[in-house]
A = this chain, B = another copy of it.
Amino acid sequence: MKTYLDCLPCFMNQALRAGRIATNNEKKIKKLLDEVGKLIEKIPLENTPPETGAIIYKKVSEITNNFDPYKKIKEKNIKHAMQLYPELKFVVKESNDSLLTAIRLAVAGNVIDLGIDKEFNIVEDIETILHQEFAVFDYELFKQELETAKEILYIGDNAGEAVFDKILIEKLGKPVTFAVREIPVINDITFKEAKQIGIDKVAKVISSGSIAPGTILDLCSNEFIEIFNNADMVISKGQGNYEGLSGVNRSIFFLLKAKCPVIANNLGVKENDIILKGI
């Protein structure tokens, strides 16, 4: 996905938000915003947003000297999600279409990481998404690909939602490779959190090599690109991965909630719609 004009002020907002999480030093945050301001001119609208995200979050770490600002938030999210895990496994088991329920929960996972200060809503959000209509729903295609797939690549997104991804991976019943970010970027999942959640018990965990809050093939490791090209099926979670991969020439299933108006517009859906889109 290209960068839209609306993404430019959003980059500044993201920098401010991340800066405040990384430090209390107002001068450092001002310095960060100065740097991101100067960066705007260098962003061609043809770039995908996470390419710029990579630069911004690198600046956040360098200027604040905090290389994992979202550490505590990730821990809190994971802990909460893992408390819900047994009940959610039961919900999947008891449902009429357990694969679809697991997919819905994986989308619900994509939501909760936004609601950092609204943890009491997680359960409500799950409840909503369990009954929400998909705005794009390529489920038949998903089932067809899944049936014949021998190797599945599952590209993770936020740390907390990976607990929900684990439920879907267990339900897929096929060998899965789960890709994480190379280093901490926003609250995205890295190898450390994947192990903590136990993703390594249900899938082979690899780094995509990406330092961006999304998957941009040009910036990924050769190992990841080979797996990406050879996988029978690719499942991509969340906005950042969609932004990086939506223009790629291979079949991919995108599983996400459209959390910003730009993404919603790009997908031809409304904000807060949920998506299972095959390309």
Contact = CB atoms under 8 A, between A and B. Distances in A.
A108 interface: no
Contact of A41 (B13, B37, B45): B37
A38 interface: yes
Given A39-B37, A41-B38, A29 B16 contact: no
Interface stretch (A1-9, A92-100, A221-229, A267-275): A1-9
Interface string A11-32: 0110110001000001001100
Interface in A136-154: none
B26 A16 contact: no
A9 B12 contact: yes
Given A30-B45, A45-B30, A37 B16 contact: no
A34 interface: yes
Nearest to A14: B9
B16 A33 contact: no
A44 to B, nearest CB: 9
Interface residue SS majority, chain A: helix
A9 B13 contact: yes
Interface residues of A, number: 21
Contacts of A33: 5, 8-9, 40
Contacts of A26: 5, 45
A30 B6 CA distance: 10
Nearest to A3: B30
Interface-central residue, A15, A30, A36, by most chain B CB under 10 Å = A30
Contacts of A15: 9
27 contacts: A5-B16, A5-B20, A5-B26, A5-B29, A5-B30, A5-B33, A6-B16, A8-B12, A8-B16, A8-B33, A8-B37, A9-B12, A9-B15, A9-B33, A12-B12, A12-B37, A12-B40, A26-B45, A30-B45, A33-B40, A34-B40, A34-B41, A36-B37, A37-B37, A37-B39, A37-B41, A38-B41
